Structure 1
């Protein structure tokens, strides 16, 4: 049963898990960790580190506590980045590219806002037909032929931006907004 308090509802994303076998984070245990830190109405969506929950207190503190809990329990550190449902919905609305195929369009939720100098440095990374744009604390991406056939070097752009981030395609982002509404 959802005891929705919209002010405390969060979409919580953990970076780089269950991809390539290097950092396994079973979703049942991810939910348990969140609950052990006081979260309620906890749900996960697909096995890529997506969690929707109602959190107790400050979201920055909750995110850092989850990072510590993951590191303690699983032996690896991964950044946790969360947003309110309204912020995630706004990221969808602010997507600057035409969406021909939602699975080719992504939002990278950043841990902070990159500086203008960092964005300028990232612009030097070749992208081919792929496109990206930073809007606030999100980087929006449109892959010409899908993420699996990316022409741009996401990791190089991320390093240049100097801010950790985690990407989700628009299908996943929409589903997370739906789940957050209970």
Structure 2
């Protein structure tokens, strides 16, 4: 068993509804203990059996079987999430304008080079390992860059959380 912070991509947006109580129930049914969620955007903290990646895949399959839709589950240890937060390369003037996108794997150098050709205005992004760090000049609601296009160019699925949420998840994971 190991404590993991599990991040589900694109739940409770665009018609994909997942009550957090049901997410906790499913995770518990897969053998996780000390299960908790934070806000209704697919943030789960749990002590999971076996390898983290194996639990991620099992949770993806359980969700698809129950609801009929697939969403990536990307997890990290609390130490990995803390390291990602500490590696954030941009000045943080407003934590809700700065994000860490947790990627399923490290993008290739060619994919990063292609993504770097996209116009970003005053917004900034940088891949460090398996995370893409973003700082929106005017907030995610008024982006100058198209993060979705950059994400597609990277060819790696990911899910973003603002720095306030990242800090809270670290705190909750103990």
Same fold by TM-score greater than 0.5: yes
Q: In structure 1, what is the equivalent of residue 148 of structure 2?
A: 155
What is the aligned residue count? 174
Residue number in structure 1 paired with 2:68 = 75
- The yes-or-no answer on 1:19 pairing with 2:13 is yes
Which ranges in structure 1 are unaligned for 5 or more consecutive residues? none
Kindly provide the CA deviation profile for residues 96-148 of structure 1, in whole angstroms up to 9, marking residues without a partner as x.
00000000000000000001100000011111110000000000000000000
CA displacement 1:135-167 (0-9 Å, x = unmatched): 000000000000000111111101100000000
Distance in 2, matches of 1:106 and 1:35, equals 29
CA RMSD, Structure 1 to Structure 2 (Å): 0.7
**Segments of 4+ moved more than 3 angstroms:** none
TM superposition score normalised by structure 1: 0.94
- Hey, what does 1:10 align to over in structure 2? 4
Residues 42-53 of structure 1 aligned to structure 2 (within 5 Å): 42-53=35-46
| 2:123 equivalent among 121, 130, 133 | 130
- Mind listing any 5+ residue stretches in structure 2 that lack a counterpart? none
> What residue in structure 2 maps to residue 121 of structure 1?
114
From 85, 104, 126, the counterpart of 1:92: 85
Equivalent residue in structure 2 for 1:28, among 12, 18, 21: 21
